[in-house]
Amino acid sequence: MTDAPTACLLIIGDEILSGRTQDANLKFLGERLAAMGIRLKEARVIPDVPDVIVETLNTVRALYTYVFTTGGIGPTHDDITTACVARAFGRKVIRHPEAVKKLVAYYGHVPNDARLKMAETPDGPDVALIENRATAAPGFRIANVFVMAGIPSIARAMFEAIAPLLKGGDPMFSSHVDAEIKEGDIAAELTAIQEKYPHVSIGSYPFAREGRFAVSIVARATDKAAIAAALNEVAAVMTSKGATPTLGD
Amino acid sequence: MTDAPTACLLIIGDEILSGRTQDANLKFLGERLAAMGIRLKEARVIPDVPDVIVETLNTVRALYTYVFTTGGIGPTHDDITTACVARAFGRKVIRHPEAVKKLVAYYGHVPNDARLKMAETPDGPDVALIENRATAAPGFRIANVFVMAGIPSIARAMFEAIAPLLKGGDPMFSSHVDAEIKEGDIAAELTAIQEKYPHVSIGSYPFAREGRFAVSIVARATDKAAIAAALNEVAAVMTSKGATPTLGD
């Protein structure tokens, strides 16, 4: 477990920080990476400010096995991610010949300069395009950094294109047991169960069900048997307090 | 504008990074802070790992006027935010007498030790409770850090309780103009308009409308007249290309 690959998601865009747009890429990437055994350790949402993008990228690409970025690779003036990634790596920006070909094929002619910006990547032998079947404008990989679109449907398609290239680790499994009980009524027992199963990460998440207090106890681990054992103990505690637990994945 | 107060949101919780839970606090806080003239400059999502929480908090509280945290202040073993905030400030954790009173009043008796954990705060004269009308368990403020619940309804109530205490700046306004046109067809003109209005931040966000390409051009600034002037120019460009722009807030 200790040497599982790690990852960071950089969400680039004023529209997320202003509250205009609800990010949907973190949840998707979190789920997919967990299933692949890659530990998403951090996500940062940063504005469309070149110095911030460059500095943040250089910080996180040194910390994690993989860095995924979303946002800022379109044709307009506010799409500055590619230029910033190139700057972070000390590279020139080039028009990637293969990307130009894809755009020409998509549009049926050589597109205007704005659209040709979508064929730009940093220069270097470690740069490879990420396929985009939706609009042809590709993302790209440079070293351990994967530069993807912000639009969720395109980000997802790009991730699936690169997923086979990522080195995974032991998949992280998770299951949960829910009951209509207040988490404060089982907290002491939960602490004991967590201590008994140190390799299972047990989280307690209260929620409301038809106006009544309920809690979801989530267990995450690479060992399914350990998850089941821990959650069975949680369920027994819930039952002993008069609640009716239900187990789920 | 240059001296507008700044803010960072720290979203604390494995459940967000694992993709189990969709964060809803960033969008809310982004909108509210923008309206108050506080610039949300960054959000970080970090796991339930004490060293990470302490180190990240100490980094961001030195960078920004205000830091808001969400998550990890409940009664269970995985609620470690309060202890980590205290450690970041080099303070002891105490049972805050006023918070204990609130919990006793809410439950009608002295609650168990797990629930009394929700009355804990760092020690010090700069610590003040943040009211929670939903479940009585308060958040707290220490210096420029506001520690709030993760559950969105409670986080929102806590934010409204502290909003009057925050020093705002010039509110950031935003409007948009939408049209069924590809952003690549107006990108050059948008660049020129952005250069003409350097104090207006113009963003271009493509979307699909009934399967057709559309774009929303968003202008953000403290000056409503400048927003209107810039967007009128954008609308004129859209019209000149055969599209029918609609303006909105």
Q: What is the rounded CA–CA span in Å between residue A79 and residue A58?
A: 19
For residue A23, what is the DSSP state? Answer: -
Residue B19 contacts A where some CB pair is shorter than 8 Å: yes
ipTM above 0.90, yes or no: yes
List pLDDT tens digits, range B31-65.
Answer: 999 999 999 999 999 999 999 999 999 999 999 99
Nearest CA-CA distance, residue A91 and chain B, Å? 24
pLDDT of residue B134: 84
Q: State how far residue B222 is from chain A, nearest Cα, in angstroms.
A: 13
* pLDDT recorded at residue B249: 87
Quote the mean pLDDT of chain B: 96
Q: Are B213 and B224 in contact (CB under 8 A)?
A: no
Q: Is A63 on the interface with B (CB under 8 A)?
A: no
pLDDT of residue A2: 52
User: For residue A59, what are the contacts with CB-CB under 8 A and spacing of at least 6?
Assistant: none
Contact B76 A204 (CB under 8 A): yes
Q: Could you tell me where in chain A the CATH 3.30.70.260 domains are found?
A: 174-248
Query: What CATH number matches the domain at B6-165, 3.30.70.890, 3.40.50.720, 2.40.110.20, 3.40.980.10?
Result: 3.40.980.10
Fold of B173-248: Alpha-Beta Plaits (3.30.70)
Q: H-type helices in B5-124, by residue range?
A: 14-17, 25-36, 50-63, 81-88, 97-107, 113-116
Phi and psi (nearest 5°) for A194? -60, -40
Contacts 24+ apart (CB under 8 A), A133-138: A133/A157, A135/A106, A136/A102, A136/A103, A136/A105, A136/A106, A136/A107, A137/A73, A137/A74, A137/A75, A137/A99, A137/A102, A137/A103, A138/A96, A138/A99, A138/A102
> Which residue is closest to A111 within chain B, CA to CA?
B184
Contact A5, A169 (CB under 8 A): yes
Minimal CA separation from A244 to chain B, in Å: 20
Residues of chain B with CATH 3.30.70.600: 173-248
The CATH architecture that domain A174-248 belongs to is 2-Layer Sandwich (3.30)
Q: How far is CA B235 from CA B31, B181, B211, B218, in A?
A: 25, 11, 22, 12
Contact B187 A77 (CB under 8 A): yes
What's the pLDDT band for B1 if we cut at 50, 70, 90?
A: very low
Q: Do A15 and B75 touch (CB under 8 A)?
A: no
Measured distance CA(A78)–CA(A72) in Å, rounded: 7
Q: Is the pLDDT of residue B211 over 90?
A: no
Instruction: Categorize the per-residue pLDDT at B2 as very low, low, confident or very high, splitting at 50, 70 and 90.
Output: low
What pLDDT score does B92 carry? 98
Rounded to an integer, what distance in angstroms lies between the CA atom of residue A138 and that of residue A19?
Answer: 27
* A190 touches B: beta carbon within 8 Å: yes
pTM score, whole prediction: 0.96
Contact (CB<8Å) A112/B27:
no
The pair of structure tokens assigned to B183 is 């952003």
* Low-confidence residues of chain A: pLDDT under 50: 1
Instruction: Pick A19's closest partner by Cβ from B20, B31, B75.
Output: B31
pLDDT reported for residue A79 = 97
Nearest to A45 among B42, B184, B191 (CB): B42
pLDDT tens for B214-236 read 999 999 999 999 999 999 999 99
Which of chain B's residues have a Cβ under 8 Å away from the Cβ of A205? 15, 21
Query: Looking at chain A, which residues constitute the CATH 3.40.980.10 domain(s)?
Result: 6-165
For residue B203, pLDDT over 60 is answered with yes
Task: Give, as one character, the DSSP assignment of residue A130.
Answer: E
Task: Please identify among residues 94-133 of chain B the ones whose CB lies closer than 8 Å to any CB of chain A.
Answer: 111-115, 117-118
Inter-chain contact A46–B42, Cβ cutoff 8 Å? yes
Residue closest to B216 by CA, chosen among B241, B234, B196, B192: B234
Nearest Cα residue in chain A from B38: A18
Residues from chain A contacting residue B19 (CB–CB below 8 Å) = 26-32, 34, 40
Edge-first strand listing for the sheet containing B173-179: B201-209, B212-221, B173-179, B246-248
